[in-house]
Chains A and B, each alone.
Chain A
């Protein structure tokens, strides 16, 4: 017998999509809640700008709602919404020069888990008196290093090394084959290794 406290099973994506296609706004809101973090994340790591990421993520979901009737289910909703977000972000970056962010996150925007993450502690432990400063500096160096990559290289690093997506999913999102994804990842990492050499010793 199932426990009384057991949470009801969540409907899968395709069920929610079908309901949303029939005009169920609540079903679409559930899809937004389900993928907002990933969509915001990929845009933020591409732009390093919170306001832009927020605006573009909202635009992506609005476009998804408007184009929902044309969604046939050939790919997953996850891949589809990622494609919309990635295309809008790449257009945004093409039309507007990548600007130095004036609204970089402060250390307060790193969550508590990050501050106690073993890698983070190991990286900045020897600078204990200036630990906060070291964390902010590390964050800025990471963002600057990412900004020096080409858009396609930045995208594969974001999707694979930051968001943890497999090569196959990235290939679907970027509309290329997995060999291209691996090659881009290889060269992007090489470039990052050179830029961040101080932190990798």
Chain B
């Protein structure tokens, strides 16, 4: 049922008061220039069509449900990525050796070498005695 329209003087005054807003007008000449401004924007839009991401942003801003869906999917991807990164080394996949020394001593067969360093003993250089630095007074 429709609400009963109020007939009080206050409501009539309110309507007359609001009707005064009809007299608010933009700066002089605004409506003379307006069609040309619209035409210029149409020409510009024809010359430079919106890119896919601008259309995407517009769609997101128009439909909050889409924005929420995108946010949920992005969050799930991040969480999934973090979870995979934490769980994958313990799954028994190929393991990386950190150094050649480790690879020779403890790596199980099939372990991959993750360094370009030569195998131990190939390019042995004589070790030089290290002298501590001295400060002359």
Confirm or deny: B133 has a beta carbon within 8 angstroms of a beta carbon on chain A.
no
Which one, B6, B14, B23, B30, contacts A117 given CB within 8 A? Answer: B23
**Distance between A177 CB and nearest chain B CB, rounded to angstroms:** 10
CA distance A65 to B38 in the complex (A): 10
Across the interface, which residues of B come within 8 angstroms of A109, CB to CB? Answer: 24-27
Classify chain A: how many residues form its interface, as a range: 35 or more
Is the CB–CB distance between B41 and A62 below 8 Å?
yes
Is the CB–CB distance between B61 and A119 below 8 Å?
no
Interface locus among A7-15, A36-44, A71-79, A125-133: A36-44
CA distance A59 to B54 in the complex (A): 14
Q: Which residues of A line the B interface, CB within 8 A?
A: 25, 29, 32-33, 36-37, 40-41, 44-45, 50, 53-54, 57-59, 61-62, 65-66, 87, 91, 94-95, 105, 109-111, 113-114, 117, 119-120, 123, 138-139, 142, 157, 161-163, 179, 182-183, 186-187, 189-190, 192-193, 196-197, 199-200
Instruction: Encode B42-86 as 1/0 by CB contact (under 8 A) with A.
Output: 100100000000000000011010000000000000000000000
Confirm or deny: B109 has a beta carbon within 8 angstroms of a beta carbon on chain A.
no
CA distance A161 to B21 in the complex (A): 9
Judged by DSSP, the binding face of A is helix
CA distance A171 to B30 in the complex (A): 30
Classify chain B: how many residues form its interface, as a range: 20 to 34
The answer to whether residues A40 and B11 also contact, given A62-B42, A91-B62, A183-B2 and a CB cut-off of 8 A, is: no
Is the CB–CB distance between B35 and A189 below 8 Å?
no
Pairs across A and B, CB under 8 Å, 14 listed:
A29-B38, A36-B34, A37-B31, A109-B24, A111-B25, A114-B24, A123-B17, A139-B24, A161-B15, A162-B21, A192-B14, A193-B10, A199-B17, A200-B14
